[in-house]
Amino acid sequence: MKESVMKFYDDLSEDYHLIYSDWDCAIVRQSKILDQLIKDNLPHLKNSSISLLDCSCGIGTQAIGLAKMGYRVTATDLSPASIKRAERESESRGVEITFGVADFRSLTEDVSGEFDVVISVDNAIPHLQSDDDLQLAGHNMYSKLRQDGLLLISIRDYDALLHDKPRATQPNVFDNGKLITFQVWDWHDDSKTYTVNQFMIQDNNDRWETKHFSTNYRALKRQELSTILISCGFTDVRWHMPEESGFYQPMVTARKQ
């Protein structure tokens, strides 16, 4: 799993922002939603005093936004190329973040210190396809939290997706029709895992270029993830659906107590 997922994000790192119609707007929008959810759970803390670990930061979408809001952010990812891009993007925005390369199954060894908040957003956790790996990641996230700390994870709504098992996403057309992005999903025979094929078709001086990236996911149901988190010692496991939170994916919060 590690090498294939690393390659997917390494290869995608320079183009990842193209998934969004406006990446800078997404940084602001997502950080505001996450900030509100954190404040709802840790009302006694101010942003400037909150230490936060984003353990699947990618190119920095959530880490940069939260750091700009005053959080003391450490951001790690499995992909070295994504971390390099995130460092460059945060520096260009004048944001101070501590970056590092780490697998969220080995945070105890790879990341020093404890944090008030640990997050993993954008459907990163379902790259782990076995219960053993999910529990290992859960235990490592638990170990990185201070007592009464907050865990926040977002995943796709697999409870709904498993009913229809869609084969593709709707194409997104950006840049006045010069960029088209979409995904093709190949469901495996076990009906629990699938391969995502990410396509980006771009007009480069009247010459269309196609880029393709692929990776595997587990269609992880909410109750399955809740059970894993409880088995790792988390309490107060709560789901926050998009219609409630305003975020584009279901989010789960849990506490270390």
* Least confident residue range of 1-10, 37-46, 137-146, 234-243: 1-10
Query: Which residue segments constitute the domains of the chain, with CATH numbers given?
Result: 2-156+220-255 (3.40.50.150), 160-217 (2.20.25)
State pLDDT tens for residues 46-73: 989 999 999 999 999 999 999 999 999 9
| Angstrom distance (rounded) from CA 235 to CA 230 | 6
Helix (H, G, I), strand (E, B) or coil at 226: helix
Q: Over the stretch 166-198, which tens digit does the pLDDT of each residue have?
A: 999 999 999 988 999 999 999 999 999 999 999
**pLDDT at residue 206 tops 90:** no
Closest to 26 in 3D by CA, of 63, 81, 54, 70: 63
Q: What is the pLDDT of residues 94-150, one digit of tens each?
A: 999 999 999 999 999 999 999 999 999 999 999 999 999 999 999 999 999 999 999
Chain centre distance of CA 257: 24
pLDDT of residue 1: 63
pLDDT value for 176: 87
pLDDT at 2: 72
Beta-carbon contacts of 52 under 8 Å, excluding residues fewer than 6 positions away, are 38, 66, 71, 72, 73, 74, 115, 116, 117, 118, 119
* Average pLDDT for the chain: 97
Task: Specify whether the CB–CB gap between 220 and 155 falls below 8 A.
Answer: yes
As a whole number, mean pLDDT of residues 216-231 equals: 98
What whole-number distance in Å separates Cα of residue 8 and Cα of residue 40? 35
